[in-house]
Amino acid sequence: MLNQLHVKNFALIQDLKLKLKPGLNIITGETGAGKSILLNALGLLSGKRADLSIIRRGTKKCVVEGDFSLKDYGLDTFFELNDLDFEEPTIIRREISATGKSRSFINDTPVKLSVLKELGDRIIDVHSQHSNLILSKSEFIFSLLDSYSENIPVLNSFKKLFLEYIEKQKQLEDLQSKQQQEKLNLEFNQFQYKELVSHNLENGEQENLEKEFEILNNAEEIKASGSIVVNNISYNNSSVQELLQEAIKSLDKLCLFDESYNEIKNRLTSTLIEVKDISDEVQEKISGVNSDFSRVQQINERLDLIYSLQKKYNVSSVEHLIEKRKELKKIIELVIGGDEDLNSLVEEIQNSKIVLSEKANTISEARRKQAPFIAKEIIQDLKLMGIDKAQLEFKFSNSELNTFGMDQIELLFSANKGSLLSEIDKIASGGELSRLMLSVKKIIGLKTALPTIVFDEIDTGVSGEVASQVGGLMKEMGRKIQVLAITHLPQIAAKGDTHFKVFKSSINDETTSEIKQLNNNARIDEIAQMLSGLTITQSARQNAIELIGQQ
C-alpha cells in the first residue's frame, strides 16, 4: 500500500506530504482545489508521461515521491529481473526538470520509464471517470476473466509461444517469397556461379600478383640499384666495409693507450657486422630478380581477368568476388535444396499451432467456467448499488489464434428486466457505467492483490441511498486493499476510514494547494457542508453524524 505521498513544486502544490492509511481513504474539496493534481502526481509514479506545464512557476523541477509497503505482493521476481534492491518500504521517485529532463528512481536506483510503468501497473491503479469506456474493450474483458480465473501465468506462457509462432510464420512467408523470386533467376545465378568458380579466385591473390608484376616490370632497375648498394658496402675501392675495418684497426691501437676505447671499438665492430649483413641480404634479393617476359604476360592476363570480373560484378577486390560466389551458392541451394528447410519450418509451425490450440482451449475452459460466477458477483454488487434488475452475460465465440487465445468475448448488459442484452457502450448510462466499473475493479483488485486503487469521482450519476451503497462497496474493498476515493458525495465521504480535505491558500499573492487529514469534528463539518453548502446548518451536522454512524 501507499504509506506516504510527497509532492513538491507540482502545479499549485508547493510542498505537500500526504500520509495515507489502510482501508478507505476519502479525499474531498471544492472544485479546482487541487484534487486532480494529486491524481496526476500518482500518475507520474505509475510511469505516465510528464508535461513540463506541471512544474510550478518559478521553480527548476518538480518531485513526486511515494513510500510503498510491498513485502506481501510477490514482487521479488520483478526486482530481481530488473537488478533492483528490494527494500521495505520501497521508495519510488520521479523528477521532472524545467529543461525537459525526466528521471525515475526505485529505491534510489535510476530506472527507465518502462520499468517504472511496469511496477506502477502492479502496485497502483488510477481510475478516472473516463476510464469507464474501457469496459467495452476486449482487452479489458480478457483481463477481468483471466484475473478471476487465475489464468495469468498460463496466459503469459501462451503469449510467449504465440509470439514465437508469429515469428515462424513470418520466416516461412519470407522464405517462400525469396525462394519463388530466386526460381526466376536460377539460370542466371547458376551461370554467374559457374563463372566465378571456374577462375579459382583466392584471397590475397590480386595484391600478390600486382606486387610481383611491379617487380618483374622493373627488374633491371631493381638489380642496378641493388648492385650499387652491394658494391658500395663491400667491393668498391674505399667501400664502407673496408673503411670500417681500417677504423677498427686504428681503434685497436688507441686501446693500447686508453682502455676506454674498447667500448667504442666494440660498437663499431657490431656496425661492421650489420653492414655486411645488409650487403648480403640485398645481394640475395636482387639475385632472384630476373626479367621474365612470359611470366609478366601471364600475370598481366590474370590481372586483366580479375579487373574485368570486378567491373562486371561491381566490386573492388578479389575478396568481394569470393563473397559473391558464396552468396550465389546459397541462393542456388535455397532454390534447389530449399524445400527441406521450408518443409521443416512448416512442420514446426504446425506443431506450435497444436500446442497453442491446446493451451488456448485450457484458458478458454477456465474463462467459460468462471464467467457465470463473475456475472453473478457483479449483478449482486449492482443490486446493492440500486440497479435491481441488472442482467449481465459474457458472450463467447471462437476466433483465430491471437495473443489472448482463441476466444472472442463480448460483455453484454441490460439494466432493466425484460430488455435485450446489448453492448455496454450502447446501452448503459453514465451512472450505470460507473457502478458497473466499480464492481469490476473490486473483483480485479481483490483477485490480483493490487496494493492500492484510486477512484476519481467514480460516483458520477448516483446519489442518495445508491451513493451510500457505492460507498459501502468501496469500504468493503478497503478491507482487503487500500482505496483512495476522490468524491463530491457526502454519502460516500461518510464511509471513509480516513478523510482528507484539499483546499487552496494564498500567501503573498501566491496560490497553493494543500491537504490535511480531518479529525472527527472537522470531518462532520466537511460532510455537513457537502450536504448543505457553505452555510452549515444544525440539521446538516446531525445528518452528517448519522451518515458517519451508519458505517
Q: Which domains does the chain have, with CATH numbers?
A: 1-128+457-517 (3.40.50.300), 188-333 (no CATH)
The H-assigned helical ranges of 185-260 are 186-198, 205-217, 219-230, 240-257
pLDDT at site 471: 87
Please answer whether residues 105 and 111 qualify as being in contact, where contact means their C-beta atoms are separated by less than 8 angstroms: yes
Residue type, 532: S
Q: Do strands 2-10 and 124-127 pair parallel, antiparallel, or not at all (unpaired)?
A: unpaired
Bridge partners (DSSP) of residue 138 are none
- Alpha carbon separation from 102 to 19, 50, 96, 496 (Å, rounded): 25, 8, 5, 35
Ramachandran class of 427: left when φ > 0, alpha when ψ lies in -120 to 50, beta otherwise:
alpha
332 touches 193 (CB < 8 A): yes
Closest CA to 93 of 78, 73, 77, 109: 109
Angle between helices 293-312 and 205-217 (to 10 degrees): 140
* Total residues found in the chain within this entry: 551
The pLDDT of residue 230: 83
pLDDT for residue 5: 92
Give me the pLDDT at residue 332, please.
79
State the 10-residue block means of pLDDT for the chain, 551 residues long.
91 88 90 80 86 85 92 84 88 90 91 90 77 72 86 88 92 80 74 88 87 80 82 82 86 86 89 88 82 81 89 90 88 70 84 93 93 91 85 91 91 84 77 81 77 80 79 88 89 91 83 88 90 82 84 61
As a whole number of angstroms, the distance between CA 181 and CA 316 comes to 27
